[in-house]
Structure 1
Amino acid sequence: MARYALNRDNTALLIIDIQEKLASIMKYKEQIIDNTKILITAAKEMNMPIIVTEQYPKGIGPTIADIKEAVDNKEAFEKTNFSAYIGKIKEALDATGRKKVIITGMETHICVFQTARDLIENGYEVFIARDAVCSRTKENFLNGLELMKDVGAVISNTEAIVFDLLKIAGTPEFKVLSKLIK
């Protein structure tokens, strides 16, 4: 059962390619942005590392303003590979020493899937917040989730992830985060 449990001391948040031009064509972009912001707040409250990526920002644009602001304008790692587990992103994630990774982002069946697959292949345990990832079509979204589950990712949701990290009610973090989940 440890594979399904999150612990704030061994977990990082990876936000993949929530960028202006990509978000503009996503049907559920507001939900993805809102849930990613909840996970960012949880990560910050619990002192968890946050890594943000951008797929070819010259063509797809920068990370959307709401996400940039939520991560305190932290610089995003640029990439052209679909998988985010490469180069400086790989080095930054490995340097955290965390072996569990929560993933949010776009698109479920491409960059999110390829990153999850590569992380799992390299010994990470991956948690996908299914309500914080999306694709242009429902079919591709569902296929991406299925592929990730097949390779060993845990498919969860924002609320389940936050409450698993919290473990108990009544803490200062609980008071902050429970207000965000309505």
Structure 2
Amino acid sequence: MLVERWVHLCIDMQRMFAEDTPWQVPWMKTVSPEVVEVASRFPQRTIFTRFIPPRNAGAMPGMWQAYYEKWPMMTTNRLAPEMIGLVSSLHALVPPARIFDKFLYSPWVDGRLHSALGSEEVGTIVLSGGETDICVLAAALGAIDLGYRVILLKDAVCSSADDTHDASLQLLGDRFSVQVEIMRTEEWLIDATDPDLR
């Protein structure tokens, strides 16, 4: 049984990754049932991150400008505003689930999320969402650095690249085995408890 306070941090399950855009993650729909199962069972312990592109490439620093020069159609000047939103099955859970907007791969950079979780005495991060080898990986590594216990639900994360998805799971499981546990959603749900009920 989980003995400390935890949150389900669901990474970037947004329409712009689920639908027909250059950033579509085709098998996001495959992991959606697992993500929905966790989030709907514990909406009050769920935080959905959203990756928010800039207005245009010039609004970002450094190499992010080159990144958005490659993907100008994904800036908010050109992307339909509703595409930033969560997929409908998860949007329906807000509130009590929360939304945390970020502008980079990692949700930890500016300290807001860590500060909020610290005030709630959270010690464990349960990760789902996409992409395994980009934003999920950044969230996991940041959580490790900040001292959280990380549980990654391997059937609730997805990528548009199978090889690097698999490599990321192997990296986290092998090189960070003290700080990261990788398990299936069903296995985790057997032991999960709602901290608000303790």
Question: What's the TM-score, normalizing by structure 1?
Answer: 0.78
SS class of match (1:70): coil
Q: Which amino acid aligns with 2:143?
A: L
> Does residue 111 of the first structure (1) align with residue 106 of the second (2)?
no
Partners of 1:100 and 1:159 in 2: how far apart?
A: 18
Which residue does 1:160 correspond to in 2? 187
Q: Which amino acid aligns with 2:176?
A: V
Which residue does 1:41 correspond to in 2? 40
Counterpart contact for 2:27–2:160, Cα < 8 Å: no
Partners of 1:73 and 1:123 in 2: how far apart?
A: 26
Report sequence identity in percent: 23
Relative to structure 1, is the Cα distance of residues 96 and 32 closer, same or farther in structure 2, using a 3 angstrom cutoff? farther
Counterpart contact for 2:28–2:130, Cα < 8 Å: no
Partners of 2:150 and 2:185 in 1: how far apart?
A: 14
- Once the two structures are superposed, what CA deviation does each residue of 1:11-67 show, in whole Å capped at 9, x if it has no partner? 1110111111112322322232211111113324xxx62211101154562111111
Q: How many residues align?
A: 159
Which residue does 2:51 correspond to in 1? 55
**After alignment, is 60-69 or 136-145 more displaced?**
60-69
- Where structure 2 has 5 or more consecutive residues not aligned to the other structure, the ranges are 54-75, 194-198
One of 124, 136, 144 as aligned partner of 2:168: 144
Question: What's the TM-score, normalizing by structure 2?
Answer: 0.72
Which residue does 2:30 correspond to in 1? 31
Partners of 1:28 and 1:70 in 2: how far apart?
A: 22
> Does residue 19 of the first structure (1) align with residue 14 of the second (2)?
yes
- Could you tell me how far 1:137 is from its partner in structure 2? 1.3
Identify the structure with the greater helix proportion: 1
Which residue does 2:101 correspond to in 1? 78
Partners of 1:38 and 1:63 in 2: how far apart?
A: 16
